[in-house]
Structure 1
Amino acid sequence: MTQYVGAIDQGTTGTRFMVFDHSGQVVANAYEKHEQIYPEPGWVEHDAMEIWENTKDVIQQALSRADIGPDQLDALGVTNQRETTVLWDAETGRPVHNAIVWQDRRTTDRVEELKEDGWEEPIRDKTGLEVDAYFSATKAEWLLANSDPIKLQRSRPEDIEDRAADGEILFGTIDTWLIWKLTGNHITDVTNASRTMLYNIRDAEWDDELMDEFGIPEAMLPEVRPSSDEDTYGATDADGFLGASVPVAGALGDQQAALFGQTCFDAGDAKNTYGTGSFFLMNTGEEAVKSDHGLLTTIGFQRSGEPIQYALEGAIFATGAAIEWLEEVDLIDDAAETEELARSVDSTDGVYFVPAFTGLGAPHWDQRARATIVGMTRGTEKSHLVRATLESIAFQTRDVTEAMVQDADIDLTSLRVDGGAVKNNFLCQLQANIMDTEIVRPVVDETTALGSAYAAGLAVGYWETVDELRDNWQIDRQFAPDDDRSDVDRRYGRWSEAVERSKDWARDEEDE
């Protein structure tokens, strides 16, 4: 029998299962969306049980369609939307509340309180992160304070905080939730731990001071393991839904998984993933480079028995989400339309769109920024707005690139790209022009799933060396800059003005 490696890619809008062969090619694929829940403005939730049911469904669908038996899987890898936080009852296996999604802004006031109390620098030093509602710590704190004990379906009336201190309520990002459901073990990897705002990335351990500040007992936190783990995280139950015992041996947060899938194994290698948001990561090797320009210092990956590899990251909150908004307001019927509409006009006719629906991420970090369209006239057409949306994706990436070049003190000559939006040739060319950098698109652009498959496969010996993975990586197309630099720089200057106008908009009436 031919053997394969499977990858669960649990994203913000849906769950995908992909099966890869030894050459890194996709041989099976299935996908299901899940509901986006918006209880209040700025709040975003997911049903973790729906995500688990969808995970089982897509695994079975993909294997069935490709006529692959579960015993043909040498390993499973997991990759996930990062920072999204779920708490669950260890006995019943049921979440105590909907998962709070990375985009959620309900803890903005708490974050501002942390800044006022002087936590900004200590948190940045320990975790490499900005103090922001984006990360998991304030989400977990909110869940402990606000989950309804009645929903726990327990006969005992103990307070949820007390049960968490006893390890009866468990914390996890979505990787941890799925690994627990798959294997029964409470485990996360170093990349996901590094996104919680509870993990000291230099000491490689949960931080006592931060756990104390957020009221998160260590008993509810998962064990932290390498991203590619020769000891594995456990295995599926042979009597369970899959019908086979398959080791779960690799896990990475989605952006680190894309870094791994793009074979960015050396210091200076960089990639940008265009998904709901966009995430630009550069491998900085064994050095945790501190950013002075609004970027995050994060863990890139770790293999068993090897040092942690760090990365600089620019997290942009809304890129694909901006395209989705165009669909939601009926400006387009499908994302594929954006290329033709953008090409139908020579410019945006002076229109700039800052898609700060949930605030601005790197390098601005303004939680109260909001989406802004400037420069419209009665002559503004749908095509101008669509082109401005694509330009906003490229401009935001340049914002991050300029910060990264200053922090890492290198000139970026080439950028590997992936994610759904890179199928748009117009956007790729636009990105090359606005950054004045060659854009390189690989043949396999589902690099998030591929990265988690690589991590799992390396752990169990399906692939023996990273050189095999480098040999698998193939270029689909390259885009070289071909636009007038002075005009690009002029437009970028105007973009920066538009960004300033979007900032600090979402204030309470009493603050005005």
Structure 2
Amino acid sequence: MTNQYIASVDVGTTSIRCQITNSQGQILSSACIKVNLLYPQPGYVEINPDELWSDVCSVIKSSVADANISIKEILLGISTQRGTFTTWRKDNSQPFHNFITWKDLRSDTLVKQWNQSFLMKTFRIGCYALYLVTRNKRFLAGSSLKIANTQSTMRLVWVLKNIPQLKQAIENKNVMFGTVDTWLLYKFSGGRKHITDITNASATGFYDPFVLSWAIWAKRVLNIPISILPEVVDNDYSFGYTDKSVFGYPVPIKCVISDQSASMFGSCCFNYGDIKVTLGTGTFLDVNTKQMVHGSASGLYPLVGWKLNNELTYFIEGACNDTGSIIQWALSAGIIENPYESSDLANSVENTDGVYFVPAFSGLGPPIMDDNAASGFIGLKATSRKQHMIRAILESIVFRFTLLYNLLQKETNLKIKGICIDGGVANNDFVCQLLANILGIEVYRPSTTEVTILGVTFITGLKAGIWKTRNELKKMRALNSIFKPSSDMSVYENCMNEFSMWLKAVDRFKLWYNLK
């Protein structure tokens, strides 16, 4: 049989990876290119669209060459970072601006203005009143609607306000909006397709997962023109083939999906209540709720997990924006010299010696919901050593997630026995064991850290008929380690005491940037 090699591409925030897998699930090759992030001003984080496109093509060609196969033998599957977008001219494909990434803060003032506006407060009150009457979870979610910097919403509003060329081009119907997946599909198709997959659309902030369409309020309240938005399609949509000019041969595209959804699929979280935690640049907690859309008033939010074979699966998601970024900061500050040694250094001391760290470079999300919190250490004294500080940093990542987990437990009746983890920070044994100890559940770490790519591979293989059932995929997924909670009750009690003290430290850092 031909076309039995899968090229799975993951376009992340910091890197672009492509992995070649055969029909037995064996990895033949892997290639990686670092994403060139641009920082034109403080708080601005951009990517050049043409450079990203070139790098994606390059990494695919490199991985195919390393696998010693022909481009004619591959099936292409793609996952992308969410919330990052650009706009471009319909007539000549020229971008109006760079990709504005999900980490970009240029619209922070707009976000705060809108969240505190009379209009938004009225909207929330109206939604809550409707919820009391109807008990519809859609209105419960609306009652706590809060626009976030990580969503595309206000960054797109900022673009529409601040790039003059756009206004005239919109009047001439010469503008296309797209997240990373949309741009890549547009380029791969030679400009013929202006589409986005449903999981990326769901994460923009202005796609309504309850009714599965672009939100009406985005047009009426924020003046986002619907005409510039792409068509929303399923994850196993008939994406067609790459234009012959791209690789010299039309390569079939079988799957497009967002990174968090791909990692859920790669973790084989197919059933109701299955939980995956990505410990990457940020922490993302995702729970499979099947056909149930979960409305929350506490900061958890519903997303489309995937739509495959016309079957829709929803997630509950909660996020902490600072995880791997905290480790990167500690590296740049010289606190940690090598991320791989941080676990051993943290374990080399019995405790933090009263030192606590608050990870809030991007504020504190649910359930605290404080964008004005500060980051920092508290409790430093003459006896404090680097090991104590490193342990405090790693503990803060776990404690921050514990808040999110407790919120999930409060809002659902899920009986959780274990969680699947992935992402770079999941390689840290100290973090994994502390998670198991404080949550009182098993933590499953896979043998591969590239779970996002694994998810793309699985979906592409199912679509192509290489694998027939999801049970086959479960057999292919191997675990590296299972971290079990300590049977010593004093360990749990000590964890909770430290967690309680950390919460007191958090209180000291709240609303710091509102203080005069």
Whether TM-score is above 0.5 comes out as: yes
Structure-2 separation of matches of 1:104 and 1:503: 22
333, 357, 375: which one aligns with 1:329: 333
Q: 1:318/1:390 Cα in 2 relative to 1: closer, same or farther (>3 Å)? A: same
Structure-1 separation of matches of 2:43 and 2:432: 30
One-letter amino acid matched to 1:83: G
Q: Deviations over 1:323-355 (max 9, x none)?
A: 100111122233212122212222111111122
Structure-1 separation of matches of 2:300 and 2:233: 25
Correspondence for 2:100: 100
Say how many residue pairs are matched: 494
Deviation at 1:303, TM superposition (A): 0.6
Task: Report which stretch shifted further, 184-193 or 162-171.
Answer: 162-171
Structure-1 separation of matches of 2:46 and 2:513: 20
Deviation at 1:27, TM superposition (A): 2.2
One-letter amino acid matched to 2:85: T
Structure-2 separation of matches of 1:148 and 1:34: 28
Q: Is the 2:140–2:296 Cα contact (8 Å) retained in structure 1?
A: no
Q: Which runs of 5+ in 1 are unaligned?
A: 150-159
Correspondence for 1:210: 218
Correspondence for 2:227: 219
Q: Is the 1:87–1:169 Cα contact (8 Å) retained in structure 2?
A: yes
Q: 1:174/1:165 Cα in 2 relative to 1: closer, same or farther (>3 Å)? A: farther
Structure-2 separation of matches of 1:423 and 1:15: 20
Alignment map for 1:239-250 (pairs within 5 Å): 239-240=245-246, 242-250=247-255
Deviation at 1:82, TM superposition (A): 0.9
Structure-2 separation of matches of 1:39 and 1:179: 27
One-letter amino acid matched to 2:308: R
Structure-2 separation of matches of 1:46 and 1:111: 22
Deviation at 1:173, TM superposition (A): 1.3
Confirm whether residue 492 of structure 1 aligns to residue 499 of structure 2: yes
3-state SS in 2 of match to 1:432: helix
3-state SS in 2 of match to 1:27: strand
Q: Is the 1:16–1:31 Cα contact (8 Å) retained in structure 2?
A: yes
Structure-2 separation of matches of 1:331 and 1:36: 24
Q: 1:148/1:329 Cα in 2 relative to 1: closer, same or farther (>3 Å)? A: farther
Task: Report which stretch shifted further, 243-252 or 264-273.
Answer: 243-252
Deviation at 1:166, TM superposition (A): 4.4
Structure-2 separation of matches of 1:128 and 1:201: 16
3-state SS in 1 of match to 2:481: strand
Alignment map for 1:352-391 (pairs within 5 Å): 352-391=356-395
Confirm whether residue 291 of structure 1 aligns to residue 299 of structure 2: no
Q: Is the 1:126–1:199 Cα contact (8 Å) retained in structure 2?
A: no
3-state SS in 2 of match to 1:406: helix
Confirm whether residue 438 of structure 1 aligns to residue 442 of structure 2: yes
Q: Is the 1:130–1:296 Cα contact (8 Å) retained in structure 2?
A: no
Correspondence for 1:38: 39
Q: Is the 1:27–1:66 Cα contact (8 Å) retained in structure 2?
A: yes
One-letter amino acid matched to 1:26: I
Q: Is the 2:290–2:314 Cα contact (8 Å) retained in structure 1?
A: yes
Q: Deviations over 1:4-58 (max 9, x none)?
A: 2122111111111112233444322111112333333333222222222211121
3-state SS in 1 of match to 2:221: helix
TM-score, normalised to structure 1, is 0.91
Q: 1:78/1:211 Cα in 2 relative to 1: closer, same or farther (>3 Å)? A: farther
Q: Is the 2:348–2:387 Cα contact (8 Å) retained in structure 1?
A: yes
Q: 1:128/1:260 Cα in 2 relative to 1: closer, same or farther (>3 Å)? A: farther
Confirm whether residue 135 of structure 1 aligns to residue 151 of structure 2: yes
One-letter amino acid matched to 1:402: N
Structure-2 separation of matches of 1:126 and 1:304: 30
Structure-2 separation of matches of 1:258 and 1:70: 26
Structure-2 separation of matches of 1:8 and 1:465: 22
Confirm whether residue 87 of structure 1 aligns to residue 73 of structure 2: no
Structure-2 separation of matches of 1:464 and 1:5: 15
411, 417, 421: which one aligns with 2:415: 411
Q: 1:248/1:127 Cα in 2 relative to 1: closer, same or farther (>3 Å)? A: farther
Q: Is the 1:6–1:17 Cα contact (8 Å) retained in structure 2?
A: yes
3-state SS in 1 of match to 2:322: coil
Q: Which runs of 5+ in 2 are unaligned?
A: 128-138
Correspondence for 2:132: none
3-state SS in 1 of match to 2:512: coil
263, 269, 272: which one aligns with 2:268: 263
Structure-1 separation of matches of 2:222 and 2:463: 34
Structure-1 separation of matches of 2:222 and 2:410: 33
Task: Report which stretch shifted further, 464-473 or 132-141.
Answer: 464-473
Deviation at 1:128, TM superposition (A): 9.2
Deviation at 1:87, TM superposition (A): 1.4
Structure-2 separation of matches of 1:253 and 1:2: 24
Correspondence for 2:22: 21
3-state SS in 2 of match to 1:282: strand
Q: Is the 2:268–2:473 Cα contact (8 Å) retained in structure 1?
A: yes
3-state SS in 2 of match to 1:140: helix
Alignment map for 1:107-126 (pairs within 5 Å): 107-115=107-115, 116-119=117-120, 121=124, 125=141
475, 481, 485: which one aligns with 1:481: 485
One-letter amino acid matched to 1:422: A
One-letter amino acid matched to 1:109: T
One-letter amino acid matched to 2:324: G
Q: Is the 2:79–2:259 Cα contact (8 Å) retained in structure 1?
A: yes
Q: Is the 2:79–2:262 Cα contact (8 Å) retained in structure 1?
A: yes
RMSD of Structure 2 on Structure 1 (CA): 2.1
Q: Deviations over 1:412-450 (max 9, x none)?
A: 210001112222222211221122211011223311111
Q: 1:499/1:344 Cα in 2 relative to 1: closer, same or farther (>3 Å)? A: same
One-letter amino acid matched to 2:197: D
Q: Which has the higher contact order (CA 8 A, sep 6+)?
A: 1
Correspondence for 1:153: none
Structure-2 separation of matches of 1:163 and 1:2: 42
Q: Deviations over 1:476-512 (max 9, x none)?
A: 21000126111111111112222222222234xxx73
Deviation at 1:167, TM superposition (A): 4.0
3-state SS in 2 of match to 1:214: coil
3-state SS in 1 of match to 2:310: coil
Structure-2 separation of matches of 1:503 and 1:4: 51
Confirm whether residue 450 of structure 1 aligns to residue 454 of structure 2: yes
Q: Is the 1:127–1:200 Cα contact (8 Å) retained in structure 2?
A: no
One-letter amino acid matched to 2:511: D
Deviation at 1:214, TM superposition (A): 2.2
3-state SS in 1 of match to 2:232: strand
Structure-2 separation of matches of 1:454 and 1:169: 35
Q: Matched residues, percent identical?
A: 34
Correspondence for 1:506: 513
Structure-2 separation of matches of 1:165 and 1:452: 38
3-state SS in 2 of match to 1:336: helix
Confirm whether residue 69 of structure 1 aligns to residue 74 of structure 2: no
Correspondence for 2:134: none
Q: 1:101/1:129 Cα in 2 relative to 1: closer, same or farther (>3 Å)? A: farther
Q: Is the 1:179–1:248 Cα contact (8 Å) retained in structure 2?
A: no
Correspondence for 1:52: 53
